[in-house]
Amino acid sequence: MSTDERIDYTLKINGKPYKVENAFYSENLLHVLRYRLGLTGTKYGCEHGQCGACTVHIDGKAVCSCMELAACAVGCEITTIEGYNNQDGTLNRLQESFVKHAALQCGYCTPGFIMSAAKFIEENPNCTEDQVREGMDGNLCRCTGYNRIIEAIKEAAEVRK
């Protein structure tokens, strides 16, 4: 690859600027987050949009960071699980609800589920259980069998009301 294929840019992640230097133009955001910026809370699963482990928010929308060209996110507000977490290390309502309902086993899918569910609840404050099930169609979990996750999200949505 030629040096032409490398670029420098700045991403705004969790409210802070992050310089990305000498990166290939074709690198996806998931890769840049994890391996260039050390933000490893966003998980690497399938790398083609099916598992949702890599879900982040870009300009207020839940999207898969694995299918996003990192450089195309210049000028956008990016939020990862690190930015969504309470900064004092305590758990927020949605996360507490996941703990209460034992909605995780290995936990690998959890950051993606949390990021996806957070937006879903925000966009659908009066959701029914069926809507939660349909709304979480972009995230896979190999451990829990989903019911506990759905319960956790449903309860978090109800508490929020």
Partner 1 sequence: MIIQSPFLAVVESINEALDTKQKRPSSRFISGGTEVIADQNLGLLEPEGYISLRRIKELHTIEPKSDGLYIGAGVVVAQLLDDKAMAQVILLKKAARAFGTRQVRNRATVGGNIASGLPDRTLLPCLLALEATVHLQSAKGKRSLPIKDFLIEPGKTAISKDEILTGTTVPYVKGFQEYYMVGPRNAQFFVTACLALVVDEANKNVRLGLGNAGPTAMRAKEAEEYANNAIDWKKQTVDETIAIKFGEIAAENCSPVSDAAASAAYRRHAIKVMSKRILLRAFERKQ
Task: Please give the residue ranges that form the binding site for ligand FES (CB under 6 A).
Answer: 44-47, 49-54, 64, 66, 104-109, 141-144
26 contributes a contact to ligand FAD by CB under 6 A: no
Q: Are 21 and 40 in contact (CB under 8 A)?
A: no
Nearer to partner 1, 30 or 87 (CB): 30
CB neighbours of residue 154 within 10 Å:
20
92 contributes a contact to ligand FAD by CB under 6 A: no
Q: Are 111 and 41 in contact (CB under 8 A)?
A: yes
Residue type, 98: F
Rounded distance between C-alpha atoms, residue 93 and residue 34, angstroms:
26
Binding site for partner 1 (CB under 8 A): 4-5, 7, 9, 25-26, 28, 47-50, 52, 55, 61-64, 66-69, 71-72, 74-75, 116, 120, 134-139
Give the footprint of ligand FAD on this chain (CB under 6 A). 48-50
